[in-house]
Amino acid sequence: MYLPAHFALHDPAELHRILREHPLGLLVRQGPAGLDGDHIPFEFDPTVGPLGRLSAHVARANPLWRECAGGADVMVVFRGAEAFISPNWYPSKHETHRQVPTWNYEVVHAHGRLTVHDDERHVRALVARLTRHHEAGEPRPWKMGDSAPEYIDAMLAQIVGIEVAVTRMVGKSKLSQNKAERDRLGAAQTLAERGRAALAQRMRDAG
């Protein structure tokens, strides 16, 4: 990933925030036919190992887990807030006409070694944790006990657990840090007015 110094994101707390707030990762690996990718929601535990652990599950029909049964080096890409930025949103554009369109975004590349867990107990515990986390905001959170045990057993039999022991994280936070403050804040204000509050706040904080 091209990473100019002023866009580099090094703070572990910020890297972890992006993983928590945007858990749908793109797992990239070298498959038999070349590079391949799978879009998978991950659980991130920063307390396991030196840089944390990513946990997820895939369909048993997905060839990923068989092709990586012996372990594989992978990269998981997590995309945070992002949006197009028009030069018209920069106050200086209307004075000098020396601005161009761009795209602002936050992203983390988590590199590591993948391990497969074809184990019912492991998968059941993982699904329970993921369910509790993502259902927490619901008025009546769904839980596995809401369904008949035989139905849940059959569903769990159709998935396989995977883990990625993270060995390196590379973060990029492109938030108009290379622009004058009034231009950065002007673009942030327009984003906020258009309903992109998260990215707007990140841009305001980038100063």
Domains, the chain, ranges and CATH? 5-81+103-177 (2.30.110.10)
Q: How confident is the model at residue 97 (pLDDT cuts 50, 70, 90)?
A: confident
N-term to C-term CA, the chain: 23
Residues of the chain with pLDDT > 90, as a percent, come to 93
At residue 207, the pLDDT reads 77
Work out the angle at residue 118's Cα, subtended by the Cα atoms of residues 15 and 16, and round it to the nearest 5 degrees. Answer: 5
CA distances from 109 to 10, 27, 42, 101, 180 (A): 12, 10, 13, 25, 28
Does the reported pTM lie above 0.75? yes
Residue-wise over 46-67: b if at least 16 C-beta within 10 A, else e? eeeeebbbbbbbbeeeeebbee
146: exposed, middle or buried (Cβ count in 10 Å: 0-12, 13-18, 19+): exposed
At residue 93, the pLDDT reads 80
Q: How is residue 103 written in tokens?
A: 């795209």
Tell me the per-residue pLDDT of 51-70, one tens digit each, with 9 for 90 and over: 999 999 999 999 999 999 88
Mean pLDDT, to the nearest integer, of 125-149?
95
Q: How confident is the model at residue 48 (pLDDT cuts 50, 70, 90)?
A: very high
In degrees and rounded to multiples of 5, residue 181 shows phi and psi of -55, -45
At residue 85, the pLDDT reads 97
Whole-number mean pLDDT of the chain? 95
Mean pLDDT, to the nearest integer, of 113-123?
96
SS3 at position 135: helix
